[in-house]
A and B are shown apart, each in its own frame.
Chain A
């Protein structure tokens, strides 16, 4: 077993899967010789050949359309969209085509596609590179949206995604690529899709988060511990569809819940989590459900993002407010 950061864990997942199944193809802009702008596909073309790992013309709609055609004739494409903010160029391929292929053909044609893409703020990218568009993709039934929060999960979830016959949008938070190292097995293993993870147990309040906000939630829980509040941290891992069962268990135990997302406040994943919980657990709740999110502005330019992004202190303040008032 080796110690790997998230981007290395992703490379390892792609490597072992390319080895495992010859129908898997990895492609996108710069993924071949260059190994991806974040080195996620580093060395894969050299090892598995240009037939399996290749560059594409610079066109997002083309990349995803190509994936759909390849999927229809028996391949298992793992395309990369270089930054998720660019996915709007390919929304038709994603929402009108991939998401509904199984539905419209009664399963005759499917899209066993795993779209990988970096997203998320805090690393000072130019505009439209960091935007968190997971919420509007999560709104489309037929696509799973998976967001890992650490290297171990990243490899296991990516393997499970590639093996899934349903299309998956696999989002890799830019800030997490090299944020931490941990033991990641060399071999194939799966972290199940559609399952949330209780990262830290607690009994006063549930903090539900995903992606980079899991770290902020854990940091907040540590601070809260010091002031006598026991917070449970739930990592969604798959943000669409939701693991309602795990959420319900956690919140019915703690009686309080806040949802943390980096994306803007309006609509989105946090709203959906809150409405599911409100509908199911109203009588178990000891406080209103609440959330910590980015503000409803366009994603800011790099020099404005540190104030814009939610952090552990925002979470602590929100929890304190809830604990004091309810």
Chain B
């Protein structure tokens, strides 16, 4: 027999160990100066403010959920950079297609905090945004938003708009068939889409190592021939530069980009979940040392741009914002079955008309 093909060698070549793209390390030092973005002091402060807002927002809504004031919610602590700095890198008019965990970037994108509160509680107000807000509601089906983003991107391209669709998915979601289909469709049409895989370590209880044998999630872009990058998702500057560059690349007609942001979900999957069943305390602590807030704080403090007092003011403002939003959410008109029936079709069929009349009468009693 002739020589056998060395698959092991091929696998090593195609599935290599790579380090994430990083600009600022865990100590807050700039380690990749060539890519350091040219940001003003105000912008640097804004980036920190938005992340502090995200952390405090998560704290407040989590407390409210535990108190039973809000429905079950997916916490976001640990993902402030990957969610909020990627959104920060977008332009007005860009579209967002979030998963269920990506409520904070939606708020930064224009969705009202009141509507976010109503989303957790299951009110249609939390799903229906002003037309000027370019965002889909949070997606619950894993991966559905990925193929929809390909459609939004294609539409933007056909319109000649210099905008992108940015969509988020978790590491678990990258195992879904729709993830591949979305990447593949966007690739074929050179659609301006930024796919953000937030690798936060676990799909509920299933670790990243059980999702796929590929060394990174971003390398799945190779399979469909699209640009991709493995990024330190707790490095705000790396996230910013990666998203900004992907945006520029996509709107210039070169096609979609898949970004993997390596991050960590400090909390549970949702507040009904107990992560002590599937991960060790030590693992969480290791990730704590990489926290985006810690490293950005160090960086800014050294420049004299950040103080504890400033941080406390942002936290206080955020608490006030959530409280006001909660109050406002209670004043939104109550949902009715007749209202539900009215929104099923634009032109109401006879069968629904009959049911509408029935519920209208029932609700009037």
Which residues of A are at the interface with B, using a C-beta cutoff of 8 A?
Answer: 25, 51, 56-57, 59, 61-62, 64-75, 77, 92-93, 96-97, 102-110, 141-142, 144, 164-166, 193-194, 241-245
The answer to whether A103 and B340 touch (CB under 8 A), given A59-B185, A72-B148, A245-B350, is yes
Chain A residue with Cβ nearest B140: A96
Judge whether A70 and B347 touch: CB under 8 Å: no
The answer to whether A142 and B148 touch (CB under 8 A), given A57-B188, A61-B177, A74-B155, is no
Judge whether A104 and B141 touch: CB under 8 Å: no
> In the complex, which residues of chain B have a beta carbon less than 8 angstroms from the beta carbon of A97?
141, 144, 148
Give bound CA distance, A243 to B354, whole Å.
Answer: 12
- Chain B 113-148, CB-CB to A under 8 Å as 1, else 0, gives 000000000001101111100001100010010111
Judge whether B136 and A72 touch: CB under 8 Å: yes
Q: Which of B331-357 contact A (CB under 8 A)?
A: 340, 343-347, 349-352, 354
Judge whether B178 and A65 touch: CB under 8 Å: yes
Judge whether B346 and A102 touch: CB under 8 Å: yes
Partner of B159 from A57, A73, A193 at Cβ < 8 Å:
A73
Judge whether B343 and A66 touch: CB under 8 Å: no
Main secondary structure of the interface of B (DSSP, over half): helix
Judge whether A102 and B124 touch: CB under 8 Å: no
Give bound CA distance, A241 to B130, whole Å.
Answer: 30
Chain A residue with Cβ nearest B146: A65
> In the complex, which residues of chain A have a beta carbon less than 8 angstroms from the beta carbon of B347?
164, 166, 193-194
Judge whether B147 and A93 touch: CB under 8 Å: yes
Judge whether B184 and A62 touch: CB under 8 Å: yes
In the A-B complex, the 10 residue pairs with the smallest Cβ-Cβ separation, listed nearest first, are A69-B151, A65-B147, A73-B155, A62-B181, A106-B128, A241-B349, A69-B152, A66-B151, A69-B148, A108-B128
Q: Which of B292-347 contact A (CB under 8 A)?
A: 340, 343-347
Judge whether B346 and A110 touch: CB under 8 Å: yes
Give bound CA distance, A103 to B124, whole Å.
Answer: 8
Task: Give min CB distance, B221 to chain A, whole Å.
Answer: 16
Chain B residue with Cβ nearest A77: B151
Judge whether B346 and A66 touch: CB under 8 Å: no
B4 on the interface (CB 8 Å rule)?
Answer: no
Judge whether B344 and A62 touch: CB under 8 Å: no
Partner of B147 from A51, A62, A108, A193 at Cβ < 8 Å:
A62
Partner of B151 from A68, A102, A241 at Cβ < 8 Å:
A68
Chain A residue with Cβ nearest B224: A57
Judge whether A65 and B151 touch: CB under 8 Å: yes
Q: Which of B131-189 contact A (CB under 8 A)?
A: 131, 136-137, 141, 144, 146-156, 158-159, 165, 177-178, 181-182, 184-185, 188
Give bound CA distance, A165 to B346, whole Å.
Answer: 7
Judge whether B144 and A92 touch: CB under 8 Å: yes
Judge whether B346 and A166 touch: CB under 8 Å: yes
Judge whether B141 and A241 touch: CB under 8 Å: no
A-B contact pairs, 12 of them (CB 8 A): A59-B185, A61-B147, A65-B182, A70-B151, A70-B152, A72-B136, A73-B152, A92-B141, A103-B344, A107-B128, A107-B346, A244-B351
